[in-house]
Each structure stands twice: as C-alpha cells, then as structure tokens.
Amino acid sequence: MVAADRDSSIVRVGLISDTHGWLDPRVLTAFAREGRIERVVHAGDIGSGPDVLYELGSVAPVTAVLGNCDFRIPGFDLNSRARLVVSRCLIGVAHDPHHAEAAFGDDFDVVVHGHTHRPRIEWSDGTLFVNPGSASQRRDETSCSVGVLEIDEDGEPTARIIYLDEIGPNLR
C-alpha cells in the first residue's frame, strides 16, 4: 500500500527505542513510507547526545524518556516516564517493561517500552503494550525494528512492527 492511499482518519505515531546514539537511516525511510506521522515516541536508551532526537524531530514532534543507559541528553529535559494523549488515546512511555507495567497499568490505552530489544505487541487487561524492538542493535532478533501505532477515529489503537532489513541492508 502506498502512503498516499492510507486512510486519512488514522493518526500514526512512530515508535522507536534503543538507538544507543545512532539513528539508522532506514528508520526515516520506514516512517516516510507510512504517510503522515503525527508524533514520534522514543522509549529510551537514546544515546549520549541529542542528535538522534533532532533527526527524529524532522519527522514529527518527539516524546522521549530516559533509558537505563541514558543520564542526560543536552538540550532536552527528559524523565524516566512520560504520558501523552494522541487522538483521545492515553499513552504511557517508560524504558523498562516492568517499570512501564507498574507505572501505567490498566489506566492507559497504550504503554510503550523498550529495553529488551525484542519487538512486542500484546494486549493485557484492555491495555496495548508495545515494544518496537531496537532500532540499532538486533541482538537475538533477525532485524532491527521500529513500530507504528495507529489510532482510529474512535481512539482505538493498533500497532505493528517494521523490520528495518525489509527496507534495505544495514550500511553501518
């Protein structure tokens, strides 16, 4: 499906985690193929500098949290958790899945986390939990990945994973 053919009533949020200081150019290509991305959520382990967040900001406004490898990102006032509302959908963000589940629980429509480097899309007690995987270090996975959260006009979320190797080879 070409981005221009996508339903314009759907709001899209780009999901990313565990960049560890490097934004793979395939991430920008993946998000561009989705059509209009309204917001980008980075679930931590950004890296030591602000470059990744600035690059993601060229796609859409960014909401980001600090991960266990992050201490401070110059120019950004980030915390270990964030909450935001996108198209009537309440989204909680934390790096560690255990902290995310404890902090947000079933009061949220969507909880986004990272840390494990393993993609996850799972419903639990009415909450959609999403880990986009790692955008820079595949570890035991076959490919690095990002995610897309889609919210329909009724505020109902769905998510999917985009494997970066399907975009093209890793040139790093």
| Residue pLDDT, tens place only, 62-96 | 999 999 999 989 999 999 999 999 999 999 999 99
pLDDT higher than 90, residue 36: yes
Looking at residue 155, its pLDDT comes to 93
Looking at residue 171, its pLDDT comes to 74
CATH of domain 11-166: 3.60.21.10
Mean local confidence (pLDDT), 49-69: 97
Domain boundary assignment for the chain: 11-166
Looking at residue 7, its pLDDT comes to 67
Residue 82 β-bridge partners: 93
What is the pLDDT of the chain when averaged over all its residues? 92
Handedness of CA 8, 4, 43, 115 (dihedral sign): positive
- What is the total residue count of the chain? 172
Q: What are phi and psi of 101, to 5 degrees?
A: -65, -40
pLDDT higher than 80, residue 105: no
Reference 68, options 42, 94, 49, 104; nearest CA is 94
Write down the pTM of the prediction: 0.93
pLDDT higher than 90, residue 104: no
Q: Does an H or E element contain 102, and which? A: helix 97-104
State the Cα–Cα distance between residues 149 and 113, nearest whole angstrom.
13
Mean local confidence (pLDDT), 37-64: 97
Residues sharing a CB contact under 8 Å with residue 67, sequence separation 6 or more, in sequence order: 17, 18, 43, 44, 45, 46, 95, 96, 114, 115
